[in-house]
Amino acid sequence: MNFLIRPLQLEQDLHAIHALTTQLGYPTTVENIQQRWQHIHQDANYLMLVVEHEQQVIGYADLIQEYTWEFDGGYLRIQAFVVDQAHRGQGVGKGSLQRLKS
């Protein structure tokens, strides 16, 4: 399956993020998503990407840049990762994670 990974654009992706967050097991409201985004998008260490197929958001990844005493440089920690239940089992999750590693 062909898909694109791109930064979240809240106005266009809001309802998809709401639905996916609920699928992930965190019932919420559209208003809560909007409020949380006000904090998230101001954090330079936070990156939210969406997975898009045929102009439809079918997944997302929340990534946080972190640092440690044990080695130089930072790393990205996956805070949340979800693929829409209708697209699971088609290699979207595995393919997305492989792209995120590179």
What value does the CA radius of gyration of the chain take, rounded to a whole number of Å? 14
CATH number of the domain to which 21 belongs: 3.40.630.30
Give the number of domains in the chain: 1
Say whether 70 sits in a helix, a strand or coil: coil
Beta strands 74-83; 56-67: pairing state? antiparallel
Full-model pTM:
0.90
Residue 43 CA to residue 61 CA, distance in Å, equals 16
Question: If you average pLDDT over residues 32-37, what whole number do you get?
Answer: 94
Q: How confident is the model at residue 29 (pLDDT cuts 50, 70, 90)?
A: very high
Range of the domain at 42: 4-100
pLDDT in tens, 50-68: 999 999 999 999 999 999 9
Handedness of CA 28, 32, 36, 37 (dihedral sign): positive
pLDDT in tens, 88-100: 999 999 999 999 8
